């Protein structure tokens, strides 16, 4: 594998970028859900937060 | 009898599906399955492509970059198409979720376009001897990246979010002209970039042992893109709800304490 560094770099980016976006999205969703539940208990009961 | 596209009934159906509460319930049920499918298929496709798919007789092992580069390229274009569809829904039907979805597609599409450009560069260096050439395909994808960045910046550039959504929607629709240029650039001009190996009308020009991992990786990446956009849109809906609750509370209290708790929109 003479082109190993290029292949490894491509796969690292190919994994890191979606995981980065995914983690950021799920953390943001959890933060919003907790904040909504704190200010609106009805949302928690309705299963939306 | 069901109505044709464009009738008022179509608009009413769209609005029924655009109800934020219904979206939260539906997406909450779909999201775990979408995420699990995305992780499983992407891992399978990339693992197969990296360890088990054959090397190319000309390019050797460098061809394995294809299993990341090609799905990213497909998603860069199809993500922009989704952005344009949201823009039409927003401008024509005033779809309440289309604006939020468009805002959330922008950064994700830009990320996948950056991935396409970066992996293309990493593939180009060992194969062409250059990180970058001003080839029609590469240049048109770079323009797509700038269109995404322009959309991300434009929707956040106004104090009134509605004006930002309208301006972003118009930019997204104008930018659609770039999609056929990207697709057909390798046919219209004499480019260093190779022509398409997979078309809708003809048989693929690559071996099945390479095609299968490529398709699996592409489906995995598509599910990941959808899961990320849905999760971001869910967060945006919740943040909008928090903002309106706090604004209503601040208005009824006559105080400003609640407005200091307003959530910032994520990028």
Residues spanned by the domain of B250? 19-192+204-259
Q: Report yes or no on B2 lying in a domain.
A: no
Q: Report yes or no on B197 lying in a domain.
A: no
A3 and B126 within 8 Å at the Cβ level: the answer is: yes
pLDDT tens track, chain B, 267 positions: 344 444 555 555 666 666 788 888 899 999 999 999 999 999 999 999 999 999 888 888 999 999 999 999 999 999 999 999 999 999 998 887 899 999 999 999 999 999 999 999 999 999 999 999 999 999 999 999 999 999 999 999 998 888 999 999 999 999 999 999 999 998 888 888 888 777 767 777 788 999 999 999 999 999 999 999 999 999 999 999 998 888 888 888 765 555 555 565 555
Residue A10 has its nearest CB partner, among B68, B227, B238, at B68
Q: Report yes or no on B87 lying in a domain.
A: yes
B68 and A40 within 8 Å at the Cβ level: the answer is: no
The number of domains in chain B is 1
Q: Cα–Cα distance between A41 and A24 in angstroms, integer?
A: 25
Buried b (16+ CB within 10 A) or exposed e, B110-124: bbbbbbbbbbbbbbb
Torsion angles phi and psi, residue B255, rounded to 5: -105, 175
Q: Report yes or no on B96 lying in a domain.
A: yes
Q: Report yes or no on B264 lying in a domain.
A: no
Q: Report yes or no on B198 lying in a domain.
A: no
Give the lowest-confidence range in A5-9, A37-41, B101-105, B143-147. A37-41
Q: Cα–Cα distance between A25 and B236 in angstroms, integer?
A: 10
B231 and A26 within 8 Å at the Cβ level: the answer is: yes
Q: Report yes or no on B108 lying in a domain.
A: yes
Q: Cα–Cα distance between B4 and B94 in angstroms, integer?
A: 19
Q: Please report residues of A whose CB lies closer than 8 A to that of B46.
A: 11, 14-15
Q: What CATH number corresponds to the domain at position B164?
A: 1.20.120
């Amino acid at each position: 594998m003479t082109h190993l560094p290029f292949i490894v770099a491509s796969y690292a980016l190919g994994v890191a970028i979606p995981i980065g976006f995914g983690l950021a999205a799920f953390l943001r969703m959890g933060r919003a859900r907790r904040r909504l539940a704190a200010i609106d208990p009805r949302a928690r009961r309705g299963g939306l937060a | 009898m069901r109505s044709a596209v464009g009738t008022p009934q179509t608009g009413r159906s769209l609005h029924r599906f655009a109800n934020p509460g219904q979206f939260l319930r539906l997406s909450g049920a779909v999201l775990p399955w979408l995420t699990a499918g995305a992780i499983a298929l992407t891992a399978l496709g990339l693992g197969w492509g990296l360890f088990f798919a054959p090397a190319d007789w000309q390019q050797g092992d460098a061809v394995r970059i294809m299993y990341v580069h090609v799905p990213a390229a497909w998603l860069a274009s199809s993500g922009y198409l989704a952005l344009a569809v949201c823009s039409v829904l927003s401008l024509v039907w005033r779809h309440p979720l289309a604006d939020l979805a468009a805002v959330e597609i922008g950064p994700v599409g830009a990320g996948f376009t950056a991935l396409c450009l970066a992996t293309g560069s990493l593939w180009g260096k060992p194969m062409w001897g250059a990180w970058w050439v001003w080839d029609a395909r590469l240049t048109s994808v770079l323009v797509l990246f700038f269109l995404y960045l322009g959309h991300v910046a434009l929707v956040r550039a106004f104090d009134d979010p509605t004006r930002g959504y309208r301006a972003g929607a118009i930019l997204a629709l104008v930018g659609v002209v770039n999609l056929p240029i990207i697709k057909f650039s390798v046919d219209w001009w004499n480019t260093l970039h190779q022509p398409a190996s997979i078309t809708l009308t003809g048989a693929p020009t690559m071996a099945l042992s390479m095609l299968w991992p490529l398709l699996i990786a592409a489906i995995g990446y598509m599910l990941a893109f959808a899961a990320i956009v849905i999760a971001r849109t869910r967060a945006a809906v919740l943040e909008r709800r928090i903002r309106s609750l706090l604004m209503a509370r601040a208005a009824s209290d006559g105080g400003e304490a609640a407005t200091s708790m307003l959530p910032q929109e994520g990028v």
